[in-house]
Homo-oligomer: A and B are copies of this chain.
Amino acid sequence: MTPAAAIVGDWGTSNLRLFLCSEDGAALASKAGPGAAAVDQPYPWLLSTLVSDWQRDHGELPIVLCGMVGSSIGWTQVPYVPCPASAGQIAARCVTIEGGRVCIVPGLSCTNRLDAPDVMRGEETQILGALQLEPPLRKGRRLLCLPGTHTKWVAINDGVVSDFLTAPTGELYSLLTRHSVLVSDARSAPGPATGADDAAFARGLEQVRLVPSADLLQRLFQCRSRRLIGELASADVPAFLSGLLIGSDAHSALRLMAHGTAGSVHIVGTEQLALLYARALQAFGASPESIDGEAAARAGLMHIYRSQAASRDPS
């Protein structure tokens, strides 16, 4: 049996994913738990219950967690690290609790390209992981896209997170498909558009490309008007909306954040969202590459684990 070295977890608002990892970062086992918003018992008790079998089989292991577990709704509040932030600075600002057994990764804050404050919690660990998994990302100017409920566009300069920009693209998709009269007939559609090969998604992207100076706000009504005049089937409205949203997001992000990156964008996320963002980025002339989001989170957490181990044992 490969010896286990650490337990690491991405503890977001809605989900907890825990991994039992070997020293080289391979996942030996995994399990799910409640998101930070759903935790209704003391964190120490909940976590020790969740990992008790692993601890029983492998001894007491260090635990590294990232995400909303370090926020005001989490276990303990870990201050944001302001950008520009290097991997070393993030590791140095981790907070250890439970007598040093549990380490929580801080989120990042920045002033974004709209001259507004911006924050992330959890994505910084995926970024660290992406830099581990793809060493060339540590050189030069890079643009990362972490799609999701709140999509993050991240500018990296020689391996340092210089700034980032958040767009609530996934949340708007969810709100509009569930509650808006713009999408009404198609309201029962589950989740995001079901595939990147969807022609309605491409039509949404095309609308953004046609009039790039318009604002999303003035594109949305097409979901209704095209349906009313019979140009768009009700069943196609969610995919068309997804094209409008992801297209608006990608187009605007490239305009604001792509300087100096030669059009290359690394997408860190689930396969389904990565495919949709890749299509949008390609439609606007960028060159997307994908990195699996869960693998990136695990690699980032293990990078923090190794940094912590090194700082405890500098020999």
Interface residues in A, total, Cβ within 8 A:
52
- Whether a CB of chain B sits under 8 angstroms from the CB of A199 is no
Task: Considering the complex, give the chain B residue whose CB is closest to the CB of A182.
Answer: B168
Cβ distance A196 to chain B, nearest Cβ, rounded Å: 20
Could you say which of A27-35, A221-229, A279-287 contacts chain B? Answer: A221-229
A202-228 interface with B by 8 A CB criterion: 207, 210-211, 213-222, 224-226, 228
- Whether a CB of chain B sits under 8 angstroms from the CB of A310 is no
- Whether a CB of chain B sits under 8 angstroms from the CB of A117 is yes
Task: Considering the complex, give the chain B residue whose CB is closest to the CB of A174.
Answer: B179
A258-281 interface with B by 8 A CB criterion: none
The answer on a CB contact under 8 Å between B179 and A221 is no
The answer on a CB contact under 8 Å between A221 and B167 is yes
Given A176-B175, A216-B216, A217-B172: A226 in contact with B117 (beta carbons within 8 A): yes
- Whether a CB of chain B sits under 8 angstroms from the CB of A115 is yes
The answer on a CB contact under 8 Å between B221 and A245 is no
The answer on a CB contact under 8 Å between A214 and B117 is no
Given A175-B175, A216-B217: A225 in contact with B169 (beta carbons within 8 A): no
The answer on a CB contact under 8 Å between A115 and B211 is yes
The answer on a CB contact under 8 Å between B225 and A116 is yes
On A, residues with C-beta under 8 Å from B are 13, 80, 109, 113-119, 150, 165-169, 171-172, 175-176, 178-182, 207, 210-211, 213-222, 224-226, 228-229, 231, 245, 248-249, 251-253, 255-256
Besides the known contacts A169-B217, A171-B182, 18 further A-B residue pairs in the complex with CB atoms under 8 A apart:
A113-B214, A114-B210, A114-B218, A114-B222, A115-B210, A115-B211, A116-B219, A117-B231, A166-B221, A167-B215, A167-B218, A168-B220, A171-B181, A175-B176, A179-B179, A214-B252, A215-B249, A217-B252
